[in-house]
Chains A and B, each alone.
Chain A
Amino acid sequence: MRAALRLVALIVGLALATLTHSQSDDLQDISRLMKQGQHSQALDRVNQYLATKPRDAQGRFLKGLVLVELKKIPEAIDVYAKLSQDYPELPEPYNNLAVLYAAQGHYEKARQALEMSIRTHPSYATAHENLGDVYTKLASQAYDKALQLDSTNAAAQTKLSLLREMISGTNRPTRTAAQPAKAAEPTKLAAAAPKAAAPEAKPATAAPAQVKPVPAPDAKPAAAKAPEKQAGASDEELIKAVRGWAQAWSKKDVDAYLAFYARDFKTPKGEARGAWEKSRRQRVSAPKHIEVELEGIKVGAISGNTATVTFRQHYRSDSIKADSRKTLVMVRVDGKWLIQQERVGN
Chain B
Amino acid sequence: MKRPANDGHDGISVSAAAAGEREGIYPLVLLRILRALACVLAALALALPVCAPAKTVRPDPTSPETLLNRAFKEIGRQRFDAALEHIEALIRVRPDFRMAHLIKGDLLLAKARPLATLGNAPNGPAARIVDLREEAVARLRAYREQRSSDQVPRYLLQLLPEQKYAIVVDTGRSRLYLFRNEAGQPRYVGDYYISSGKRGAVKVREGDQKTPIGVYHVTSSLPRKKLSDFYGSGAYPINYPNEWDRRQGRNGHGIWLHGTPSDTYSRPPRASDGCVVLSNADLDALARHLQIGLTPVIISEGVEWLSVEAWNTERTSFLQALDQWRRDWESRDTDRYLAHYSPGFAANGQDRDAWGRHKRQVNGAKSWVKVGLSNVSLFRTPGKEEVVVVTFDQNYRSSNLSNVMKKRQYWLRESGRWRIVYEGAA
Residues of A within 8 A of B (CB): 131-133, 135-136, 138-149, 312, 314, 321-323
Q: Check: B99 CB closer than 8 A to any chain A CB.
A: yes
- Contact flags B121-157 to A (C-beta < 8 A → 1, else 0): 1111100110010000000000000000000000000
Query: For residues 89 through 133 of chain B, which have their beta carbon under 8 Å from a beta carbon of chain A?
Result: 98-102, 104-106, 108-109, 111-114, 119-125, 128-129, 132
The CA of A144 and the CA of B128, in the complex, are separated in Å by 11
Given contact pairs A147-B124, A147-B132, A323-B114, A140 touches B105 in the complex (Cβ within 8 A) = yes
The CA of A325 and the CA of B104, in the complex, are separated in Å by 22
CB nearest neighbor in B for A141: B105
The CA of A314 and the CA of B112, in the complex, are separated in Å by 10
> Are B109 and A139 touching (Cβ within 8 A)?
yes
The CA of A149 and the CA of B105, in the complex, are separated in Å by 14
> Are A142 and B111 touching (Cβ within 8 A)?
no
Query: Most chain-A CB neighbours within 10 Å: which of B108, B120, B121, B129?
Result: B108
> Are A143 and B111 touching (Cβ within 8 A)?
no
The CA of A146 and the CA of B123, in the complex, are separated in Å by 12
Q: Which residues of A contact B128 (CB under 8 A)?
A: 147
Given contact pairs A146-B105, A147-B128, A147-B129, A139 touches B112 in the complex (Cβ within 8 A) = yes
Chain A proximity of B270: nearest CB distance (Å): 17
> Are B112 and A143 touching (Cβ within 8 A)?
no
> Are A146 and B108 touching (Cβ within 8 A)?
no
Q: Which of A143, A312, A321 contacts B105 (CB 8 A)?
A: A143
Q: Which of A132, A140, A143 contacts B113 (CB 8 A)?
A: A132
> Are A136 and B102 touching (Cβ within 8 A)?
no
> Are B114 and A146 touching (Cβ within 8 A)?
no
The CA of A249 and the CA of B119, in the complex, are separated in Å by 33
> Are B113 and A147 touching (Cβ within 8 A)?
no
Q: Which of A135, A142, A323 contacts B101 (CB 8 A)?
A: A142
Chain B proximity of A1: nearest CB distance (Å): 30
Q: List 25 A-B contacts (CB under 8 A).
A: A131-B111, A133-B112, A135-B109, A136-B108, A138-B105, A138-B108, A139-B104, A139-B106, A139-B108, A139-B120, A141-B105, A143-B101, A143-B102, A143-B121, A143-B124, A144-B121, A145-B101, A146-B98, A146-B102, A146-B105, A146-B121, A147-B125, A147-B128, A147-B129, A323-B113
Size of interface on B: residues with Cβ below 8 Å to A: 24
Q: Which residues of B contact A138 (CB under 8 A)?
A: 105, 108
Chain B proximity of A136: nearest CB distance (Å): 4
Q: Which residues of A contact B123 (CB under 8 A)?
A: 149
> Are B98 and A139 touching (Cβ within 8 A)?
no
Q: Which residues of A contact B99 (CB under 8 A)?
A: 146
CB nearest neighbor in A for B113: A323
The CA of A169 and the CA of B12, in the complex, are separated in Å by 47
Chain A proximity of B112: nearest CB distance (Å): 4
> Are A149 and B112 touching (Cβ within 8 A)?
no
Q: Which residues of B contact A149 (CB under 8 A)?
A: 123-124
Q: Which residues of B contact A322 (CB under 8 A)?
A: 112
The CA of A312 and the CA of B43, in the complex, are separated in Å by 12
Q: Which residues of A contact B105 (CB under 8 A)?
A: 138-143, 146
Given contact pairs A142-B102, A147-B128, A147-B129, A132 touches B121 in the complex (Cβ within 8 A) = no
> Are B98 and A135 touching (Cβ within 8 A)?
no
CB nearest neighbor in B for A108: B88
Chain B proximity of A344: nearest CB distance (Å): 14
Chain B proximity of A320: nearest CB distance (Å): 11
Chain A proximity of B43: nearest CB distance (Å): 9
The CA of A146 and the CA of B121, in the complex, are separated in Å by 9
> Are A140 and B121 touching (Cβ within 8 A)?
yes
The CA of A140 and the CA of B121, in the complex, are separated in Å by 7
CB nearest neighbor in A for B131: A147
CB nearest neighbor in A for B87: A142
> Are A146 and B111 touching (Cβ within 8 A)?
no
> Are A143 and B120 touching (Cβ within 8 A)?
yes
CB nearest neighbor in B for A111: B108
> Are A142 and B104 touching (Cβ within 8 A)?
yes
Given contact pairs A142-B104, A142-B105, A143-B120, A132 touches B111 in the complex (Cβ within 8 A) = yes
Q: Which residues of B contact A312 (CB under 8 A)?
A: 114
> Are A145 and B112 touching (Cβ within 8 A)?
no
The CA of A148 and the CA of B98, in the complex, are separated in Å by 8
Q: Which residues of B contact A143 (CB under 8 A)?
A: 101-102, 105, 119-121, 124
> Are B111 and A135 touching (Cβ within 8 A)?
yes
The CA of A132 and the CA of B106, in the complex, are separated in Å by 13
> Are B132 and A135 touching (Cβ within 8 A)?
no
